[in-house]
Copies of this chain bind each other. A is one copy, B any other.
């Protein structure tokens, strides 16, 4: 829970870049507390953790719950460089995140503005405020560069 000078989205981009250097899909996430303090930062760890569910969002949500000692994260905000997938979107709802800020839209695998549109479901019990498309070009370029290199 150290305060940091950088804006959360810049921290998320730094995590995404680091993830890419490690051979992970370059996605980064930052959890910020109600007072603006950074609670947790993470990049994807699917490869390193041998875990298809180790998305950056899941890692910061779990780390946040552990750091705060509470099962839900009311009042906390999540910053992530890519539109969360359906699993992460549903986890964001379960964790009662206040605001979700994300970078690039993900028509293929996103779950917020695409696919199951988790927060738009009548059975969704908590909906964060959603701000998408932040620094979209940078977020998209990072992902495209990564996948181009691998093909």
Instruction: Give chain A's interface residues, CB within 8 Å of chain B.
Output: 46-47, 49-53, 58, 61-62, 65-66, 69-73, 85-87, 89-91, 94-96, 107-111, 114-118, 121-125
Contacts of A61 in B (CB 8 A): 53
Contact of A86 among B47, B73, B86 (CB under 8 A): B86
The reply to whether A116 and B117 form a contact with Cβ atoms under 8 Å apart is yes
Sample (8) of A-B pairs whose CB atoms are under 8 Å apart:
A49-B71, A51-B62, A52-B95, A52-B96, A87-B91, A87-B94, A115-B121, A116-B116
Contacts of A70 in B (CB 8 A): 50
Known A53-B95, A109-B125, A115-B121; further 12 A-B contacts with Cβ < 8 A:
A50-B71, A51-B65, A51-B71, A52-B72, A52-B94, A53-B58, A85-B90, A86-B116, A86-B121, A107-B123, A111-B116, A116-B118
Contacts of A115 in B (CB 8 A): 121-124
Shortest CB distance A98–B (Å):
14
Contacts of A91 in B (CB 8 A): 52-53, 87
Shortest CB distance A22–B (Å):
14
Contact of A109 among B47, B50, B110, B123 (CB under 8 A): B123
Shortest CB distance A7–B (Å):
26
The closest CB in chain B to the CB of A54 belongs to B71
Shortest CB distance A118–B (Å):
6
Roughly how many angstroms separate A68 CA and B26 CA in the complex, as a whole number? 25
Roughly how many angstroms separate A72 CA and B91 CA in the complex, as a whole number? 20
